[in-house]
């Protein structure tokens, strides 16, 4: 794949093949070197070793790390890269997989003196796990304790200190920091990594960084003009609060040009990667049934190709389960010597213990076929993959701003995604990728996935920008502008929630309070209202529980047991109060085990056991508890007192009505509901406790379109409460 036109290739002469090499390219590129593996010199469990042995091991480990660092493709261009950063305020770095850019560049810049005046180099990642693992790795390479010179900061987990100079974090967290420090004054450099993924956070961050950079360089110039030029630059910058901000955008290859254009023609450089070649094969004809084609390909590989595990990309849990069944059926029909094939499913909602199965090596003599969603595209890297099967489809979220409906639809992948998938076969050696569509179809795919900002609800984005003093949202310099309709709808929603005043500026205090809370704006508003309704304790539990993936877990084979377990929590009033009951019962269970055994690990184990017994998703509940305690902290800082409505659940339901009035529904004669805001016909989702009870009037939290429109998290209310508690909306409508 050629480097984009605006790219300066660094070291192209010895570039290895990348993830999408054809045979010819592979020959031209020569033989790949085997990757160095760091030795596992862990001393912790080796107390019995003499002290000297341990020291030797540590020394060996350090030696190994040093060698590994030197061998990375990026190592040989350190000087040039540092020079480019000195000479350019904004630099785009196109780095292929395995170049070492994420771990090495911050160290190069630190050593080159970019952390003057206690300034920090910030590196953002789209995912929490990446921020943590990379920070750990770099701390080890620097031979420092994590949290000192090198640290990370993600939600619920801050491993930084005053001495931290290289800070890895999620992009969303840096956005939150910007709300408190709009000039990002602690940072001398911000590196936005994996920018090609174009998450909402990345896109908003890029727009913001562009603005901050301009503002800081203006400030810097004013200070420079007023200062005495004979002084050295160090004392100059000491006097200045804002020195200029260096910006580095790191991306995978395809779209360097659009970043460069957005940043006024910023320079882009290319760093080679280290990937083994992957042969890409296509089908001759389009496949009418991609599941069947996947199945055939799995067995074709298993029976005809050499050893190595298979990774097949499917769109969801249901597909994975059905392909798994079919594979098992066909294995049984094979001669016994060929039955050495093992299936392993992996998708996000699978409990972590089961997810781990994908990482275990197959028993000797067996081949593993991993059936995965796009969790295996970027979020997890499974070792041992030699063959990739890519039907070329993905389940993607789409959002209709007019109706406020979210839906998940199966669409073709983008070229970038297809490359990412095939690259998974070339991590440890040469591999093969079977694309289950003809080659000409590949060329018809869009270059890169539509950025998330163009297909999601923007209420939160708008609220954050308003907080940063950016009032003209429609005129804001987005890298890719969301539709005008989407922006207008979110402005309207925020106005109705009282976050914006009549002139569409952030209102005081409600708008500012809402912006401080890391929640969906509607949930923030619910908390603020709960203060008046004196049910803050209950509402805090509800918003924490609503903010996570589904709390209840329904395994197909134990449907009945799961249903009985849930019945013990369910409230006739609806799902919200049911969630409160679950939370409170789990908290009681925790309290009890705290009294009997104070050790944190055994308390967590107890909670885990309680969750299994009650068919509750432990991960989700854990997450909800984290959110609960974080928001509780914010609420206390804001001076709200934690009131409870006790047994007066009517008060609580009135508060739900006042908060979620935009999501109200009226029963129709046929038992379906009419969503009042959009006029759509919706059904209560079968997972709701109100599925059978047909209340006259309901409020809900989610409207999802699958086969039909479903509303989830539903509570029964009195229709008269709507005009009473939300006159700004229902007085005009009734």
Partner DNA sequence: GAGCACTGC
Q: Cα separation of 284 and 261, whole Å?
A: 38
Contact by Cβ (8 Å): 608, 688: no
The reply to whether 707 sits near DNA by the rule CB under 7 A is yes
> Can you tell me which of 704, 719, 723, 729 binds DNA, judged by CB under 7 A?
704
Q: Cα separation of 147 and 272, whole Å?
A: 31
Q: Cα separation of 385 and 346, whole Å?
A: 14
> Can you tell me which of 219, 379, 403, 608 binds DNA, judged by CB under 7 A?
379
Residue 701 Cβ vs DNA, minimum distance, rounded to whole Å: 10
The reply to whether 128 sits near DNA by the rule CB under 7 A is yes
- Count of residues making up the chain: 734
The reply to whether 712 sits near DNA by the rule CB under 7 A is yes
The reply to whether 80 sits near DNA by the rule CB under 7 A is no
Q: Cα separation of 609 and 607, whole Å?
A: 5
> Can you tell me which of 71, 76, 185, 317 binds DNA, judged by CB under 7 A?
317
- DSSP 8-state symbol, 552: B
> Can you tell me which of 127, 224, 257, 512 binds DNA, judged by CB under 7 A?
127
Residue 377 Cβ vs DNA, minimum distance, rounded to whole Å: 8
Residue 308 Cβ vs DNA, minimum distance, rounded to whole Å: 24
Residue 396 Cβ vs DNA, minimum distance, rounded to whole Å: 5
The reply to whether 691 sits near DNA by the rule CB under 7 A is yes
The reply to whether 581 sits near DNA by the rule CB under 7 A is no
The reply to whether 634 sits near DNA by the rule CB under 7 A is no
Q: Under rule CB under 7 A, which residues in 536-565 are in contact with DNA?
A: 547, 549-550, 554, 556, 559, 563
**448 to 207, 355, 419, 433, 457: CA distances (angstroms):** 19, 28, 10, 19, 21
Site string for DNA, 188-217 (x = CB under 7 A): -----------x-x----------------
- The enclosing H or E element of 469 equals none
* Of the candidates 43, 21, 221, 58, the residue with the CA atom closest to the CA atom of residue 143: 58
**Residue number, 443 or 692, with CB nearest to DNA:** 692
The reply to whether 126 sits near DNA by the rule CB under 7 A is yes
The reply to whether 672 sits near DNA by the rule CB under 7 A is no
The reply to whether 351 sits near DNA by the rule CB under 7 A is no
**Contact window for DNA (CB under 7 A) among 91-99, 168-176, 331-339, 356-364:** 168-176
Residue 424 Cβ vs DNA, minimum distance, rounded to whole Å: 15
Strand order in the sheet with 157-159: 7-10, 267-271, 90-95, 246-251, 187-192, 120-125, 166-170, 150-154, 157-159
**Residue number, 74 or 468, with CB nearest to DNA:** 468
The reply to whether 172 sits near DNA by the rule CB under 7 A is yes
The reply to whether 396 sits near DNA by the rule CB under 7 A is yes
SS3 of 401-456: the string is CCCCEEEEEEEECCHHHHHHHHHCCCCCCCEEEEECCCHHHHHHCCCCCCCHHHCC
The reply to whether 518 sits near DNA by the rule CB under 7 A is yes
Q: Under rule CB under 7 A, which residues in 451-510 are in contact with DNA?
A: 460
Q: Cα separation of 73 and 81, whole Å?
A: 12
The reply to whether 710 sits near DNA by the rule CB under 7 A is yes
> Can you tell me which of 78, 471, 561, 702 binds DNA, judged by CB under 7 A?
702
**Do β-strands 664-667 and 697-705 pair in parallel, antiparallel, or remain unpaired?**
antiparallel
Question: What b/e readout covers 441-457, taking b as 16+ CB neighbours within 10 angstroms?
Answer: ebeebeebbebbbbbbb
**Residue number, 316 or 438, with CB nearest to DNA:** 316
Contact by Cβ (8 Å): 157, 178: no
Contact by Cβ (8 Å): 444, 438: no
Question: What b/e readout covers 190-203, taking b as 16+ CB neighbours within 10 angstroms?
Answer: bbbbbbbbbbbbbb
HSE value, Cβ hemisphere, 13 Å, CA-based, for 529: 24
Residue 597 Cβ vs DNA, minimum distance, rounded to whole Å: 30
The residues binding DNA (CB under 7 A) are 126-129, 154-155, 170, 172-173, 175-176, 199, 201, 315-318, 347-349, 373-375, 379, 394-397, 408, 460, 518-520, 547, 549-550, 554, 556, 559, 563, 685-687, 691, 702, 704, 706-708, 710, 712
């Amino acid at each position: 794949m050629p480097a984009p036109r605006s790219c300066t290739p660094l070291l192209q002469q010895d570039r290895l093949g990348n993830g999408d090499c054809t045979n010819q390219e592979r020959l031209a590129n020569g033989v790949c070197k085997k990757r160095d593996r760091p030795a596992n010199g862990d001393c912790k469990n080796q107390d019995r070793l003499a002290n000297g042995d341990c020291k030797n091991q540590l020394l060996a480990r350090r030696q190994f790390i040093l060698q590994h660092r030197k061998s990375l493709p990026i190592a040989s261009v350190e000087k040039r890269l540092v020079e480019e950063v000195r000479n350019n305020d904004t630099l785009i770095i196109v780095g292929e997989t395995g170049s070492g850019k994420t771990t090495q560049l911050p160290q190069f810049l630190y050593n080159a003196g970019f952390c003057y005046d206690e300034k920090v180099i910030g590196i953002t990642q789209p995912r929490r796990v990446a921020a943590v693992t990379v920070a750990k790795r770099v701390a080890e390479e620097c031979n420092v304790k994590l949290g000192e010179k090198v640290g990370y900061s993600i939600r619920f987990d801050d491993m930084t200190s005053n001495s931290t100079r290289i800070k890895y974090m999620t992009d969303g967290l840096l956005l939150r920091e910007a709300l408190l420090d709009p000039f990002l004054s602690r940072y001398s450099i911000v590196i936005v990594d994996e920018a090609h993924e174009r998450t909402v956070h990345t896109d908003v961050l890029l727009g913001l960084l562009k603005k901050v950079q301009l503002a800081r360089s203006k400030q810097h110039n004013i200070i420079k003009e007023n200062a005495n030029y004979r002084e050295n630059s160090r004392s100059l910058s000491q006097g200045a609060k804002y020195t200029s901000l260096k910006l580095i955008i790191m991306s995978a290859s395809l779209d360097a040009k659009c970043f460069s254009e957005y940043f006024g023609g910023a320079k882009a450089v290319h760093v080679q990667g280290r990937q083994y070649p992957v042969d890409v094969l296509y089908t001759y004809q389009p496949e009418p049934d991609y599941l069947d084609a996947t199945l055939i390909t799995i067995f074709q590989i298993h029976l005809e190709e050499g050893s190595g595990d298979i990774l097949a990309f499917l769109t969801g849990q249901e597909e994975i389960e059905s392909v798994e069944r079919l594979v098992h059926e066909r294995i049984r029909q094979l001669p016994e010597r060929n039955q050495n094939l093992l299936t392993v499913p992996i998708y996000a909602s699978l409990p972590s213990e089961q997810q781990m199965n994908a990482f275990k090596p197959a028993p000797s003599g067996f081949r593993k076929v991993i059936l995965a969603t796009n969790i295996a595209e970027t979020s997890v890297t499974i070792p041992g993959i030699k063959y990739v099967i890519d039907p070329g489809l993905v389940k993607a979220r789409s959002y209709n701003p007019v109706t406020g409906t979210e839906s998940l639809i199966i669409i073709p992948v983008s070229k970038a995604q297809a490359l990412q998938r095939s690259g998974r076969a070339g991590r440890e050696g040469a591999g093969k990728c079977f694309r289950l569509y003809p080659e000409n179809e590949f060329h018809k795919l869009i270059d890169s996935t539509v950025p998330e900002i163009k297909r999601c609800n923007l209420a939160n984005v708008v609220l954050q920008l308003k907080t940063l003093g950016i009032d003209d949202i429609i005129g804001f310099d987005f890298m890719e502008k969301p539709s005008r309709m989407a922006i207008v709808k979110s402005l309207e929603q925020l106005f109705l929630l009282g976050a914006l005043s009549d002139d569409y500026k952030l209102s005081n205090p409600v708008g500012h309070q809402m912006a401080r809370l890391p929640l969906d704006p509607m949930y923030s508003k619910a908390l603020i209202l709960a203060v008046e309704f004196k049910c803050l304790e209950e509402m805090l539990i509800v918003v924490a529980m609503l903010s996570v993936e589904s709390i209840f877990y329904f395994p197909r084979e134990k449907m009945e047991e799961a249903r009985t377990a849930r019945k013990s929590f369910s409230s006739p009033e609806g799902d919200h109060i049911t969630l409160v009951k679950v939370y409170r019962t789990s908290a009681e269970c925790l309290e009890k085990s705290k009294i009997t055994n104070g050790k944190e690990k055994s308390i967590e184990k107890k909670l885990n056991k309680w969750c299994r017994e009650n068919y509750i998703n432990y991960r989700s509940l854990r997450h909800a508890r984290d959110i609960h305690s974080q928001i509780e902290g914010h609420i206390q800082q804001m001076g709200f007192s934690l009131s409870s409505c006790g047994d007066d659940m009517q008060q609580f339901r009135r508060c739900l009505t006042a908060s979620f009035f935009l999501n109200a529904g009226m029963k129709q004669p046929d038992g379906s509901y009419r969503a009042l805001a959009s006029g759509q016909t919706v059904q209560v989702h079968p997972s709701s406790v109100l599925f059978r009870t047909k209340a006259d009037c309901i409020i809900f939290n989610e409207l999802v379109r699958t086969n039909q429109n479903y509303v989830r998290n539903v509570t029964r209310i009195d229709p008269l409460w709507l005009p009473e508690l939300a006159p700004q909306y229902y007085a005009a409508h009734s």
